[in-house]
Amino acid sequence: MGTSTRDYLIVTASYWGFTLVDGALRMLVLLHFFQLGYSPFTLAFLFLLYEFAGIVANLAGGWLATRFGIPRMMMTGQLLQIMSLFLLSALDSSWSPLLSIAWVVVAQGLAGLAKDFTKTASKSAIKATAGEGTGRLFKWVAWFTGSKNAMKGIGFFVGGLLLDVVGFKPALWLMAGVIGVIFLAGLVLLPRQ
């Protein structure tokens, strides 16, 4: 196995894990606050900053990856996701609904930045590792994109399962641990360039 194939597999596996957790987080938040009795409008509002932050991250992600390097951008996204998960786990049931919503919206904004920084860096890494073979690049990007969507869907089921089996806060801590392992693996296995 060549170095470029090895790096592609590492980036793809890393992004699969991240996407699985991100999908689980979306469902976990949605179902948890649905159980608490929040209205459909409020549930939709919880994801507003997540989506807006994604726009900002997509606009800035390419420039940041060029300036600071692809592995650093992937790791920044992963660290932001860990911060988001711990921020959500600090949510206190004694808080007012308004404070709780604001807290979740901010945490979701961090998760939106994390998702799109990681996605932009991962796709850039695939382009960098594919080399000059445009056929290989097309196949790798097609596989990466299709598998990413499948992992997000699996993540939705994982989020519901985690909420049902371990509860909201333990699920967040577990997911933060998974992202931490992915972060450390990338730190050890990926080249610095």
Q: What is the pLDDT along the chain (193 residues), one digit of tens a residue?
A: 566 677 777 777 888 888 999 999 999 999 999 999 999 999 998 888 888 887 887 777 777 777 777 778 888 889 999 999 999 999 998 899 899 999 999 999 999 888 888 888 777 777 766 665 567 667 777 777 778 888 889 999 999 999 999 999 999 999 999 999 999 988 887 766 5
Name the one residue in this structure whose structure tokens are 């598998």. 147
Name the one residue in this structure whose structure tokens are 């080249």. 191
Name the one residue in this structure whose structure tokens are 């997509």. 58
Apex CA 170: angle with CA 28 and CA 144, to 5°?
Answer: 50
Question: Rounded distance, CA 23 to CA 182, Å?
Answer: 16
> Are the CB atoms for 169 and 40 separated by under 8 Å?
no
Buried b (16+ CB within 10 A) or exposed e, 115-139: bbbbbbbbbbbbebbbeeeeebbee
Helix/strand/coil for 191:
coil
